[in-house]
Amino acid sequence: MALRLLIADDHPLLVDGLISVLEEIEDVLVLEPVSNGRQLIDRLRKLVVDVILLDLNMPHLDGIASLKIIKTEFFHVKVIVFTSYDQPKLIREIKTLGAEGYLLKTSNSTTLKKAIATVAAGKTWFPETAVESPEPEIPADDFIKKYQITKREVEIIRMIAEGLTTKQIGDRLFVSEFTINSHRRNICRKLNIYTPVGLLNFAKEQGLV
């Protein structure tokens, strides 16, 4: 029986290229793709799907939210996250959520085929960088309590100190610029610091960077 594969990605040109490559594989049936998370979950409720190539940045319901639903309601379906984000912390999170694979969009067609075959065979496919790079140290609870900031706000302070823009921070955390701006306002209010240079100095003083 052919492997039934579903692509969930909102970039038509990329999807067309994937379909061209995947149709070359024997015993793989490429189903009609979906372009957002809600369509994906709806499709899973109607069709039998074996493997999903899942983009993380999708409208309506993003890839992480979709993955959580899939692993709760459709636990028999294997998921390969297919993304441009090469971030060890994110890879570890995806693995913890139960995905069977993580593949970068910069991969060639041979690697794509190998990843699908590996996952279809009941194994996993994750980059080695997911275990090579250590997590940034999380500040102690007394530090967080002292300044009344959340762990997410600490992450954002670190990224501001790195020079990332609001859009870049939003892309990295998979949230909107509006959400990041809200966090920035809260951070500035709590710390009484209102400039990027001030936040950079604070981050250095507190050993966050």
Q: What is the pLDDT of residues 155-173, one digit of tens each?
A: 898 888 888 889 888 888 8
Which of the four pLDDT bands, split at 50, 70 and 90, describes residue 93? confident
Asked if pLDDT for residue 129 goes beyond 70, the answer is no
Mean pLDDT confidence for 126-136:
60
Closest CA to 29 of 56, 11, 50: 50
Domain endpoint, select from 86, 105, 132: 132
Report residue 196: phi and psi, to 5°: -60, -35
* Residue range 30-56: mean pLDDT, rounded: 96
156 and 100 share one domain: no
Q: Are residues 33 and 110 in the same domain?
A: yes
Instruction: Find, among 49, 56, 42, 45, the residue nearest to 10 by Cα.
Output: 56
Domain end (from 85, 112, 132): 132
107's torsion region: left (phi>0), alpha (psi -120 to 50) or beta? beta
Please give the pLDDT value at position 168. Answer: 86
44 and 13 housed in the same domain: yes
Q: What is the dihedral sign for C-alpha 69, 73, 75, 79?
A: negative
* Total number of domains in the chain: 2
Q: Is the pLDDT of residue 135 over 90?
A: no
